Amino acid sequence: QVQLVESGGGLVQAGGSLRLSCQASGSSVGAFIMGWYRQAPGNQRELLATITGGGRTTYVDSVKGRFTISRDSRKNTVSLQMNNLKPEDTAVYYCNSVSQGLPWGPGTQVTVSS
């Protein structure tokens, strides 16, 4: 059973940057399409970015050009570099497999102040 643990969140001013990390354990996720999601209070969880095992990426328009998803299959990790953060990026951020639907981790809180 794969377990996912997110880290790297925090409080940052608008325009700042954060780098989130997702550590998978229990089994390799190297072959899975992985994604970063976020959920703001009162909103549904939304998929922001995906990355295939081969490194092909996709982004939703709201984060395109600001966020970069990457993975290190040797370390079994997936990362999200977030630049030029905006107050509307405030949410709890999660990673998961888009293709496998793994148990959700605890997420990591990102708060962007204006």
| Cα–Cα distance, 110 to 8 (Å, whole number) | 8
| Cα–Cα distance, 101 to 79 (Å, whole number) | 18
Question: In tens digits, what is the pLDDT along the chain, a chain of 114 residues?
Answer: 899 999 999 999 999 999 999 999 999 999 999 999 999 999 999 999 999 999 999 999 999 999 999 999 999 999 999 999 999 999 999 999 998 889 999 999 999 999
Structure tokens at 76: 């079994």
Integer angstrom CA distances of residue 82 from 15, 16, 74, 91, 97: 10, 8, 22, 13, 19
Amino acid 27: pLDDT: 94
